Amino acid sequence: MAAPLLPTASLLPSSIPLPSPSIPPFHLHLHKPHTFSTQPASRRPLRLCRPVPRPTRVVAASSSDLAVDPVVGAPTAPLQPKVLPFRVGHGFDLHRLEPGYPLIIGGIDIPHDRGCEAHSDGDVLLHCVVDAILGALGLPDIGQIFPDNDPKWKGAPSSVFVAEAVRLMHEAGYEIGNLDATLILQRPKISPHKENIRTNLAKLLGADLSVVNLKAKTHEKVDSLGENRSIAAHTVILLMKK
């Protein structure tokens, strides 16, 4: 049997208008018959449909300030950061305690038989504070900005990291509303050093002492923290729009 003829303009019924140049062209699809038919192709039912536009999705702006749509590959408008009246950030850090290292907390050297093993000076409190500020600003964490495989930061004082975080905070138009930090360690006792740590922390942040709070907790002799094998810190910070 000869192959069925495809429909042409001359074979279309006169009741079906041809598309005008101002209307997107129609695609003509033949309904595939469920059973074999000897009916001429020109009499088979026709279905008219318009082409469906491909979806466009908005994606986050890249470092080049111009996002690329992953669906169509076309550039989209750069996304502007949202200006908020305040921002909240949380930071956490933990370091092992090993003999032969100094124990520096909040920029203050604390007498102890162990200290933090780290790439920089291992100041668990300042690292935690930096992460809280960066988190509030929606920026990468301290490990991405100051990678521990970069020799430049080997043994660096953590006050350098705080200064950079504070600079980024002011550059974004924010200032510290208040900060609440918690140290977790079994030994040594922090109470004799708490005010020195708090005062130095406020100075590094350029904040009033009244908005900087510091607490210290033991870990009830549970796991590495409670066994004097590590030290940890949590920080919550509130940034206010200037």
CA 28 – CA 49 distance, rounded (Å): 7
- The predicted pLDDT at position 76 comes to 55
* 5 part of a folded domain: no
pTM of whole model > 0.75? no
* 69 part of a folded domain: no
The CATH number assigned to the domain holding 111 equals 3.30.1330.50
pLDDT in tens, 171-207: 999 999 999 999 999 999 999 999 999 999 999 999 9
Burial of 38-70, coded b for 16+ CB within 10 Å and e otherwise, reads eeeeeeeeeeeeeeeeeeeeeeebeeeeebeee
* 73 part of a folded domain: no
Name the average pLDDT for the chain.
79
pLDDT in tens, 28-80: 444 555 554 555 555 655 555 555 555 444 444 444 444 555 555 555 555 66
Question: pLDDT tier at 17 (50, 70, 90 boundaries)?
Answer: low
- CA atoms within 13 A of residue 162's CA, in its CB half-sphere: 22
* 11 part of a folded domain: no
Residue 20 has pLDDT above 60, yes or no: no
Closest CA to 42 of 3, 19, 10, 2: 10
Number of domains in the chain: 1
pLDDT in tens, 214-236: 999 999 999 999 999 999 999 99
Length of the chain: 242
* 53 part of a folded domain: no
131 close to 235: Cβ distance less than 8 angstroms: yes
* 179 part of a folded domain: yes
Which residue range(s) make up the domain with 159? 86-241
- The predicted pLDDT at position 56 comes to 44
108 close to 199: Cβ distance less than 8 angstroms: no
State mean pLDDT over 132-137: 96
* 150 part of a folded domain: yes
133 close to 206: Cβ distance less than 8 angstroms: no
